[in-house]
Structures are given as structure tokens and as C-alpha cells.
């Protein structure tokens, strides 16, 4: 069924009631999920504590592969964090109305994904207690960091991205928190009154709020494009074969949006069903998101093919060798998983029947996430394992500690999301009202809400 | 309910068209001090209220310029304070520093925009006018500041222009 804009046009009070219902006391399935998540997180924490105590030797990292699963996880999670700001900022500027129902969850996902990504440089450096040396500040050692290093650009890019996304997210929440405040009683009212910062939905406040919101969107748009570009330069600015490419920035950004949109759908499909939000999150929304996945998936596939073409066209033996080895060498399995999940399986989305079949869509998005994780692994590990000199080649296999920390990172991400959906509206109340017809008296105007359409 | 210290009358409306007619009426009478509440922003309300452009944009511009200048100056200063020669590259490398300057332009732009919203929208301040909890749900409101002696006349005027309920402090 094709659901269009006019079919998600509801009365204001109906929107408030339906969306605030998601904040009610959770049932048993919620607590079971929380227990599983906390168990996985505890395992990840134990694995990290073990690494801190024993040293980096417990990870599979060794010469020549000094970057492995931790950096793979870092790049993967930064990528996951891209869809939220794309939806909330870029689609806001384009006035795409289908964003209104999904942007809040996607934005929350961005914050939690960047929070997760930010853990990995700390885990990867090993001696986490001196990680603050990365921060440039006047110190007693009279040292300054190297501002020409892409690793330091990353420090600025990730911190800026997290800060701006968090501010954008919190600003967007204010009117909705005010709505919860006005419905709440007792201690909840006190807490939400504090968090609503005195917002009273008056024209004086809306005027400045909307102006500022537009500027946040305008600032966040180039930021989305810059963050994964800067992450890609961690690799592209080096001379390592398979990394040294001007293609990396757009290739990484497209991959980030591809994986981020897939993760949004992976989360929203069960969420919609659990909270009975089918009338707000319609097949139309998922069709639109699938089209973005198709677009970015096509860019990613094109980038893979271009990499191979340029490797051949460059006539550089090291470059040609690395790309041959990726497809036919020791790391063939990650390559096949990457190519199959990112290039072949998403082709199913060209069929409209699949784009509107949410069960099929959910399975496809999980494959895309697996494929994108292996894409990062493939880029990072295969290039380092077989650099220029065969004497220094070496193979990398992740240890249980790295896999435990990776599992813990997924649980950390979902822990924040599960807490979020019980304390804040996961659909934006105010923005759902903005796309609904306002109530009219009927004197020369149409009725309010869906009946108006 | 909030602390009310500004005397005035609050009219509550259920319909946007009635509210807009009332706003136009009060604006035509020269009442530019009315305060309008609505569950969400709406273009029709903006047109009826005809308010000047928000000054938040100046905060954003100032923040962006500050961040950009700070980005270039800070990286140049740090590099000159602790010389790290790498591959014959210039110590002060404006192209490499552009990445940091760009990120700080965005960061400072966002922080100043936040400050602009907080200061102009008067967040973190206690509300001094009458309010109704339904304004975040499905009702609209017009608050008109007036003296106690004008309450009766204002109540009548609001009711005549479609208000379904009228409250006063």
C-alpha cells in the first residue's frame, strides 16, 4: 500500500496522546531486552578491563597490522552516526516531509553512535589514562600536538560532530519536553519542567527557536560531509597501497549514509511494531529510506569498481597487488561479505514490493550493516597486512578481547537507545503537528486532521 | 502553574483561523505587545504576527567568524611554539590547518547560535505571564497585557473575537 503525506495527517491531540504513550511504564519484553543488553555490555567492560590490566598484547594487533578491529569499529560507528544528521539537517533544508516521523530516532542514534565511536580511540591507544594528551592545551611539558596530522584533524572533527549533533538534538527536544511537562504529574513534572528550560510555545520563543534551528541545520549539513571525509583522510593521506586515494572522502561519506540509513531501518521496523506506531511510521517512510539506501549503495558499488579500475590504470604494482589480494588472497572472506552484502543484496531494493515489505527490508538492512562493518575491516587490515616489503607481511586475526569489546559496543549503543525511548518522545511531537493541518473552525475552511484530506 | 506577575488577560482558542482573525484585529488596533501561544510554529501565524527577522543570525555569523579566526591562529601559534619538522613541510601550513579552522567555524557557529537562542528566546527565565498547559497539546492562546481596570473590556473583546475561554491574573 502506498501511503502518502495526507494519510499521516492527524489531529494535534491525537498526535500528543499517541506519541506520549511510548513513555508509559515498560512491559516485560523491554526488561528482557535491557537484561540482555546489560549482560553483553558487562562482557565488553570485562574484556576492556582485562586489556587495560594485561596490556595491548591480549588484542590480536601486532606488526604490521597495528590497526584492526578497534579502528574498524571506530569507522563503522562514526558512519552509523551519519544518517541522523543527514535526516535532521539536510532533509530539513530540502523540506522533505517524510523526515518528520523518523528524524528524532535517527538523531538519537547519531548521538549514541558517536558516543560509541568515541570509545574506540581510547580503547585503541592502550594506555587510556594518557589519552588526554591528544587534546591541544598549554601544558607544563611545553608540547603542542601536530596540527598537520590527520589523526589530530579527526580529534577536532569527531568532537565537533558530537557537540553540534548533541546541541541540535537537545534543541529539537525542548518543545517536546515542554509537552511532556504539561501532561506530567509529581516528580516527573519537576524534572521535565527543569529540562524544558522555560519554553512556553509563545511566538517570541518560536521566532528565535526556528531561526536558530535553521542555522543549526545549515551548519550541520557541511559538517556531515566533512566528518567522514576527515575520517577517510586518516587513511588517504598516508602512502599505504589501497589507502592512498582521492576517492576516499566521497566514498566514505556515501558508505556512512548507506550504513546509517540501514541501521535506522533496522531499529525503526521493530520499534514501530512494538509501540504500535504503524499509522505514523508508514510503508511510505520505509520506501523513502530504502530509496536513499539504494542511491548510496549504488555510489558505494561504483566506488568499489572505480578503486579497481584506478588500481589497474595506475600501473602501480603495489596498488594492483593489494587489490588483487583483497579479492583472491587471505582476506577473501571479508571481501566477499563486503561485496555481497553491500553491492548484490541491496539490488533487491529496486523492486517496489521488497521496499514495502518490512520483514524483507529488515533482513536486508542487517546484511547491509554486516557488509559495511566488513568494508571497514577489509580496507584497514588487508592494506596493512601486505604493504610494500614481503619480508614484513603478517596476518591479523582478532582476539576474543577485541570481539568482546565489539559486542560490548553494540550493547552500549542499544542501552542508550532503550533508555532514550522511555524518557523522551522517539517521534517528534511538534514536527508531526507541523505537517498536519491545523484545526479550523470550518467557516470557509476544511476540517482538522486526516478527515481534512 | 507558573508565577504570574504581568497583569493581563489570556484568551484560549481551539482553531487556527479564529486565532489568526483575532491576531489581525489586535494588531490593527496597534497592540504589538500581544503574546501568542501555539502547539507548533506555523507560517500563517508568522504572516499574521509580521514580526521582524530574529537576530539569532548575527550570533551565528559572529560565532563562525570567531571559530575560523581562532582555528587558524591557534594552530599557527601551537606549531610555532613547538616546532615539529616533518618531511620539509612548512611549520605553518595553512592548507592543513584549514581542516581544524573549518571544524572550529562550525563548532563556534553552533555554540553562538545556541547562545543566541537562549538569550533572545529568554530561556532559563521564569514565565511571568498567564499560561495554559493545553498550549503544548492542541490549544492556542493570546495573552494581552493590561491593567486590572481593563480586564472586563479585554475579556469581552477576546470573546467577541472567538476566544472560547478567557482567564486573567
Contacts for A76 with CB less than 8 Å, ≥ 6 apart: A117, A259, A372, A373, A376
Number of domains in chain A: 1
Relative to beta strand B35-37, strand B140-145 is antiparallel
Q: Which residue has the higher pLDDT, A444 or B151?
A: B151
Residue A5 pLDDT greater than 80, yes or no: no
Instruction: Judge whether A251 lies within some domain.
Output: yes
Q: Give me the count of residues in chain A.
A: 453
> What radius of gyration do chain B's Cα atoms show?
25
Instruction: Judge whether A452 lies within some domain.
Output: no
The three-point CA angle A126-A59-A406 to 5° equals 90
Using an 8 Å CB-CB cutoff, list chain A residues near B114: 167, 171, 212
Q: Output the pLDDT for position A2.
A: 45
How distant is the alpha carbon of residue B104 from its chain centre?
Answer: 24
- List the beta bridge partners of residue B117: none
* A288-343 pLDDT per residue, tens: 999 999 999 999 999 999 999 999 999 999 999 999 999 999 999 999 999 999 99
Q: Output the pLDDT for position A34.
A: 95
When CB atoms are compared, the residue of A211, A223, A440 closest to B106 is: A223
- CATH code for the domain in which residue A300 is found: 1.20.1630.10
Domains and CATH numbers, chain B: 8-52+124-168 (3.30.70), 56-120 (no CATH)
Which of A8-17, A36-45, A411-420, A437-446 shows the lowest per-residue confidence on average (mean pLDDT)?
A437-446
**Rounded Cα–Cα distance for residues B104 and A5 (Å):** 38
Number of helical (H) and strand (E) elements in chain B, helices listed first: 5, 4
Tell me the pLDDT band of A176, cut-offs 50, 70 and 90: very high
**Rounded Cα–Cα distance for residues A225 and A214 (Å):** 18
Region class of B144: left (phi > 0), else alpha (psi between -120 and 50), else beta:
beta
Tell me the pLDDT band of A413, cut-offs 50, 70 and 90: very high
When CB atoms are compared, the residue of B35, B44, B53 closest to A202 is: B35
Using an 8 Å CB-CB cutoff, list chain A residues near B35: 202-204
Residue of B nearest to A160 (CA): B107
- List the beta bridge partners of residue B35: B143
User: In terms of Cα–Cα distance, which of B119, B167, B113 is closest to B141?
Assistant: B167
Domain around A364: 5-137+145-438
Mutation target vs A (from B54, B92, B131, B136; most A CBs, 10 A cutoff): B136
Long-range contacts of A419-424 (CB under 8 A, 24+ apart): A420/A108, A420/A112, A421/A22, A421/A271, A422/A22, A422/A23, A422/A26, A422/A30, A423/A23, A424/A23, A424/A104, A424/A108, A424/A173, A424/A176, A424/A177, A424/A180
**Rounded Cα–Cα distance for residues A368 and A362 (Å):** 10
Instruction: Judge whether A445 lies within some domain.
Output: no
Instruction: Judge whether A443 lies within some domain.
Output: no
SS (H, E, C) B49-106: HCCCCCCHHHHHHHHHHHHHHHHHHHHHHHHHHCCCCCCCCCCCCHHHHHHHHHHHHH
Q: Output the pLDDT for position A4.
A: 58
Instruction: Judge whether A180 lies within some domain.
Output: yes
User: In terms of Cα–Cα distance, which of B129, B117, B56 is closest to A197?
Assistant: B117
Residue B9: phi, psi to the nearest 5?
-125, 140
pTM: 0.91
Instruction: Judge whether A300 lies within some domain.
Output: yes
| Model ipTM over 0.90 | yes
**Rounded Cα–Cα distance for residues A404 and A325 (Å):** 28
Q: Which of residues 9-68 of B touch A (CB under 8 A)?
A: 14-18, 35-42, 44-46, 49, 51, 53-54, 56-57, 60, 64
Around A225, how many Cα atoms within 13 Å sit in the side-chain half-sphere? Answer: 9
**Rounded Cα–Cα distance for residues A350 and A353 (Å):** 9
Instruction: Judge whether A449 lies within some domain.
Output: no
* A62-113 pLDDT per residue, tens: 989 999 999 999 999 999 988 888 888 888 888 888 888 888 899 899 999 9
Instruction: Judge whether A448 lies within some domain.
Output: no
Residue contact B117–A171, C-beta within 8 A: yes
Residue of A nearest to B105 (CA): A219
Q: Would you call A141 an interface residue with chain B, using a CB distance cutoff of 8 Å?
A: no
Q: Which of residues 198-217 of A touch B (CB under 8 A)?
A: 198-212, 215-216
Mean pLDDT calculated for residue range A21-40: 92
Amino acid at each position: 500500500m502506498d501511503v502518502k503525506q495526507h494519510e499521516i495527517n492527524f489531529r494535534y491531540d491525537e498526535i500528543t496522546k499517541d506519541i506520549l504513550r511510548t513513555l508509559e511504564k515498560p512491559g516485560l519484553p523491554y526488561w528482557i531486552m535491557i537484561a540482555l543488553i546489560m549482560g553483553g555490555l558487562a562482557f565488553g567492560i570485562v574484556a576492556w578491563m582485562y586489556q587495560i590490566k594485561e596490556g595491548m598484547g591480549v588484542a590480536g594487533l601486532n606488526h604490521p597490522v597495528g590497526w584492526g578491529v578497534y579502528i574498524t569499529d571506530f569507522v563503522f560507528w562514526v558512519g552509523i552516526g551519519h544518517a541522523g544528521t543527514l535526516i535532521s539537517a539536510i532533509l530539513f533544508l530540502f523540506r522533505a516531509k517524510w523526515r518528520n516521523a523518523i528524524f528524532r530516532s535517527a538523531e538519537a542514534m547519531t548521538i549514541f553512535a558517536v558516543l560509541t565511536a568515541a570509545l574506540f580511540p581510547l580503547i585503541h591507544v592502550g594506555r587510556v589514562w594518557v589519552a588526554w594528551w591528544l587534546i591541544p592545551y598549554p601544558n607544563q611539558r611545553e608540547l603542542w600536538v601536530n596540527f598537520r596530522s590527520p589523526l589530530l584533524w579527526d580529534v577536532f572533527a569527531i568532537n565537533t560532530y558530537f557537540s553540534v549533533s548533541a546541541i541540535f538534538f537537545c534543541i529539537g527536544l525542548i518543545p517536546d519536553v515542554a509537552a511532556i511537562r504539561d501532561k506530567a504529574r509529581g516528580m516527573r513534572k519537576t524534572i521535565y519542567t527543569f529540562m524544558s528550560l522555560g519554553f512556553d510555545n509563545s511566538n517570541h520563543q518560536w521566532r528565535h527557536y526556528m531561526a536558530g534551528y535553521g542555522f543549526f541545520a545549515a551548519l550541520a549539513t557541511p559538517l556531515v560531509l566533512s566528518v567522514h571525509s576527515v575520517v577517510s583522510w586518516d587513511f588517504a593521506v598516508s602512502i599505504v597501497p589501497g589507502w592512498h586515494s582521492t576517492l576516499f572522502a566521497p566514498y566514505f561519506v556515501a558508505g556512512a549514509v548507506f550504513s546509517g540509513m540501514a541501521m535506522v531501518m533496522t531499529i525503526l521496523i521493530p520499534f514501530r511494531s512494538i509501540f504500535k506506531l504503524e499509522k505514523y511510521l508508514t510503508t511510505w517512510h520505509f520506501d523513502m529510506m530504502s530509496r536513499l539506501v539504494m542511491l548510496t549503495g549504488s555510489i558505494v558499488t561504483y566506488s568499489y569498481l572505480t578503486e579497481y579500475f584506478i588500481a589497474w590504470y595506475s600501473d602501480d604494482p603495489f596498488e594492483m597487488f593489494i587489490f588483487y589480494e583483497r579479492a583472491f588472497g587471505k582476506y577473501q572472506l571479508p571481501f566477499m561479505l563486503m561485496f555481497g552484502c553491500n553491492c548484490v543484496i541491496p539490488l533487491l531494493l529496486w523492486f517496489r514490493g521488497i521496499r514495502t515489505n518490512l520483514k524483507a527490508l529488515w533482513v536486508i538492512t542487517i546484511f547491509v550493516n554486516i557488509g559495511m562493518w566488513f568494508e571497514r575491516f577489509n580496507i584497514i587490515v588487508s592494506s596493512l597486512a601486505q604493504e610494500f616489503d614481503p619480508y614484513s607481511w603478517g596476518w591479523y586475526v582478532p582476539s576474543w578481547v577485541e570481539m568482546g569489546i565489539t559486542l560490548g559496543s553494540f550493547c552500549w549503543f542499544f542501552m542508550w537507545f532503550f533508555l532514550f525511548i522511555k524518557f523522551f518522545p522517539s517521534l517528534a511531537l511538534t514536527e508531526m503537528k507541523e505537517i498536519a493541518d491545523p484545526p479550523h473552525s470550518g467557516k470557509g475552511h476544511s476540517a482538522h486532521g486526516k478527515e481534512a484530506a | 502553574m507558573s508565577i504570574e506577575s504581568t497583569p493581563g488577560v489570556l484568551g484560549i482558542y481551539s482553531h487556527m483561523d479564529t486565532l489568526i482573525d483575532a491576531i489581525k484585529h489586535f494588531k490593527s488596533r496597534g497592540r504589538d505587545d500581544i503574546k501568542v501561544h501555539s502547539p507548533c510554529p506555523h507560517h500563517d501565524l508568522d504572516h499574521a504576527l509580521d514580526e521582524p527577522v530574529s537576530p539569532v543570525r548575527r550570533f551565528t555569523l559572529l560565532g563562525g567568524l570567531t571559530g575560523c579566526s581562532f582555528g587558524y591562529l591557534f594552530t599557527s601559534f601551537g606549531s610555532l611554539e613547538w616546532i615539529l619538522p616533518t618531511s620539509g613541510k612548512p611549520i605553518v601550513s595553512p592548507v592543513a590547518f584549514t581542516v581544524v579552522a573549518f571544524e572550529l567555524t562550525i563548532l563556534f557557529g553552533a555554540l553562538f547560535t545556541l547562545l543566541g537562542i537562549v538569550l533572545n528566546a529568554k530561556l532559563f527565565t521564569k514565565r511571568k505571564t498567564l499560561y495554559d498547559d493545553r498550549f503544548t497539546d492542541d490549544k492556542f492562546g493570546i495573552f494581552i497585557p493590561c491593567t486590572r481596570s481593563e480586564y472586563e473590556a479585554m475579556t469581552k473583546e477576546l470573546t467577541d473575537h472567538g476566544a472560547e475561554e478567557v482567564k486573567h491574573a
